[in-house]
Structure 1
Amino acid sequence: MKELKYQFSKREVTYYLDAEFSYLENLVERNNTVLILDENVAGYHKEKLEGWKTIVIPPGEAYKQQSTVDSIIHQLIKIGADRKTFLVGVGGGVITDMTGYVASVYMRGVQFGFVPTTLLSMVDASIGGKNGVDIGIYKNLVGTINQPKFILFDYSLLQTLPEAEWVNGCAEMIKHGCIKDAGLFQLLEENNLSSIQSNASLFASVIERNVTIKSDVVKNDEFENGERRLLNFGHTLAHAIENNYQLSHGQAVSIGMVVAAAISETINRFSAGDKARLIKVLQQYQLPVQFSYNKEKAFETLVMDKKRSGNAMNYVLLKSIGEAEVKSIPLEQLKELLLQTN
């Protein structure tokens, strides 16, 4: 096990990398802790969960809604949870997002931590303090920025993960390489999902590299006034199509990155060669690079994105592999650019 500590504005967060789920007992008092998880995690990991108080919800993005949060809160009341109760989200991004949100608002705030169980949540969703819910088709429109006390990474939990969920997480790793780490991008080019899965030391190093990339960015700009916006690469369009077309988050981000790369080539001098490298590595990790969608409808959803400022959108564009920037694009121009993409 390896510990990493990051000091954010209000809290120090400790990451326990390559730990075991049983180590949770060293971090919280079992009698005063409630685990929040979905039906899939509850079914796969019955032995690990034995003896813990749990709240189990249906799985999937469709349940990342205020009504589910209300249900969790009603169950906390029934359990008798008070301000000293510790919540632990055990699951993927939907679970960690909602657990952090519930912990932020229940009795005006209780402590919480995460045990991510998907690749996507290990490399991205559980890190950074963003918590919340969707409002209809609008992704993450309501929520908080509030850091967990800890994140415990038990890689063995990924053994039950379907292959599609492994692929889902690869999109965020590729994103991190695109915006911040050309070396990571090259490492991903030189490997594939199978080679990373089968090499324990390589896998551990890839996880740690992604954790530190995102954590360093968030530490420098926790409340998204500057550098943290880069983490939205591919996400502006992704959020506009993900729920409308029942795509996985990774699939939507992959499509969003291809479109952002095309826009970068058009207005930001991003090279055609680097765009081709991005498309190739996405395909290498079984992610989609083309998708037929209603661009007019997508744009209507996109304009409600949190990154919009007045009549312009703060859009993440690439300068080169490993270097990105945020550009304010007038909505009228952005619509034209979107309509021009394949």
Structure 2
Amino acid sequence: MESLVLDLGARSYEIVIAGGSLDSIGQRLSQLKLGQRVFVISNPTVFSIYGGRVINSLKKAGFSTGFVLIPDGEEYKSLSWLSYILTELLKGGLDRKSALVALGGGVIGDMTGFAASIYMRGIDYVAVPTTLLSQVDSSVGGKTGVNHQLGKNMIGTFYQPRIVFIDTDTLQTLPKRETISGIGEVIKYGVIKDKEFFHYLKNHREQILNKEDTALTHIIKRSCQIKAEVVSFDERESGLREILNFGHTIGHAIESVTGYMRYLHGEAVAIGMNFESRLSVKLGLFDEKQSYDIMDLIESYGLPATITSEKLSVNSLLDAMSHDKKAESGSLKFVLPEKIGTVKVLKGINREDIASVLKG
């Protein structure tokens, strides 16, 4: 078992990484002194595989349980489905002492955290991420929310879980495309903060893609360490935490313009990282060879480095970026690499420069 702590004073919490640990989740949660009523929020696919084990573990630990299922997919990360969750919690009789368990990927984690933050003005929740992307990124840091037709994650809260419980064995049933999508966020950590980690990803590609336990545990732990260090310093993204958005300004725009239907999140972020690296080269901040190193690593994992089907309207992408929550007074904000392992946040970039990069 691996463990680390995200230090937020009285709201600090543990991130536990342990293969085969789902059956002990009830015992672990009983130590947190949660309320007696606990509901699991999941989707049908994940729940059919792991829901029974989690429910049984909770019951053995003395919890009264229930569950709410929402369809699987980014397009269901919406206010209407959030309302459905809240309605089911009310019908299930959950009170202010009750708690939620987010069992699934990033959509489930974001929506469960948001529901917990506003249900009866805030109840406890626990993150049990089952995808690589959610294990290395969205389950840690307390960002919750839903999408809007005008932008991704535009409606939400900062609300921290009581614990993040990562069972690496869940990745063995994860489809290959979902696994590779998660690598997109993992690569991000190497570019923004850890050159050695970037090279580890380059040198251990086969072990990672083959889901070897030692390699998976290492990349999950190191990703969580980097994110925990950043979030503990800047929880609400007023400064340092902005570096975690590398690849996301363009990535979120791609997701929005395509209706969250064409690319998985990590795929869109991978494209965004490549474009934003090229933008940094164009602005004279970044060495072109290193930008190719990033593109090569992205493509070596089978991730897209550029828009892979019909061309998207550059104006549509720019409009989507201007509606992104990271924009300030209409000024687009980018996280741009200066060298692998170091990035800077820049705003006020000429839209023509951005457009020229997007046109390729």
User: How high is the TM-score relative to the length of structure 2?
Assistant: 0.91
Counterpart selection for 2:321 from 296, 302, 317: 302
CA contact (8 A) 1:91 1:117 kept: yes
Closer, same or farther: CA 327–195 of 1 in aligned 2, 3 Å: closer
Matched, 1:202 2:219: no
Once the two structures are superposed, the pairs formed by residues 69-88 of structure 1 within 5 Å of their partners are: 69-88=82-101
Alpha-carbon distance in 1 for matches of 2:237, 2:248? 14
In structure 2, the residue matched to 1:258 is 274
In structure 1, the residue matched to 2:353 is 336
The alignment-based identity, stated in percent, is: 34
Q: Deviations over 1:289-330 (max 9, x none)?
A: 121321111111110111111242221100001100001124
Deviation at 1:31, TM superposition (A): 4.6
In structure 2, the residue matched to 1:13 is 13
Q: Deviations over 1:84-113 (max 9, x none)?
A: 101110000000000100000000000111
| Amino acid aligned to 1:133 | V
Q: Identify the range of structure 1 (290-299 vs 112-121) with the bigger mean alpha-carbon deviation.
A: 290-299
In structure 1, the residue matched to 2:197 is 184
Deviation at 1:196, TM superposition (A): 5.1
| Structure 1 residues not aligned, in runs of 5+ | none
Once the two structures are superposed, the pairs formed by residues 1-342 of structure 1 within 5 Å of their partners are: 1-8=1-8, 11-18=11-18, 20-26=21-27, 27-28=29-30, 31-51=36-56, 52-192=65-205, 194-195=207-208, 197-245=210-258, 246=261, 247-291=263-307, 292-330=311-349, 333-341=350-358, 342=360
Alpha-carbon distance in 2 for matches of 1:250, 1:268? 27
Deviation at 1:117, TM superposition (A): 0.2
Alpha-carbon distance in 2 for matches of 1:296, 1:193? 39
CA contact (8 A) 2:35 2:98 kept: no
CA contact (8 A) 1:93 1:121 kept: yes
Deviation at 1:2, TM superposition (A): 2.7
Q: Deviations over 1:69-92 (max 9, x none)?
A: 100011001110000101110000
The DSSP-based 3-state class of the residue aligned with 2:96 is coil
Closer, same or farther: CA 193–240 of 1 in aligned 2, 3 Å: farther
Q: Which runs of 4+ in 1 moved over 3 A?
A: 28-31, 49-52, 193-198
Alpha-carbon distance in 1 for matches of 2:125, 2:161? 5
The DSSP-based 3-state class of the residue aligned with 1:106 is helix
CA contact (8 A) 1:299 1:335 kept: no
CA contact (8 A) 2:192 2:342 kept: yes
Alpha-carbon distance in 1 for matches of 2:214, 2:88? 41
| Structure 2 residues not aligned, in runs of 5+ | 57-64
Alpha-carbon distance in 1 for matches of 2:331, 2:97? 44
More strand by share: 1
CA contact (8 A) 1:128 1:147 kept: yes
The DSSP-based 3-state class of the residue aligned with 1:236 is helix
Alpha-carbon distance in 2 for matches of 1:44, 1:79? 23
Q: Deviations over 1:198-231 (max 9, x none)?
A: 4322221111100000110111111111110000
Alpha-carbon distance in 2 for matches of 1:91, 1:251? 19
CA contact (8 A) 1:295 1:339 kept: no
CA contact (8 A) 2:275 2:357 kept: no
The DSSP-based 3-state class of the residue aligned with 1:45 is helix
Closer, same or farther: CA 195–205 of 1 in aligned 2, 3 Å: closer
RMSD between aligned residues:
1.6
CA contact (8 A) 2:299 2:305 kept: yes
Deviation at 1:16, TM superposition (A): 1.2
| Amino acid aligned to 1:7 | D
Q: Identify the range of structure 1 (126-135 vs 321-330) with the bigger mean alpha-carbon deviation.
A: 321-330
Deviation at 1:194, TM superposition (A): 4.6
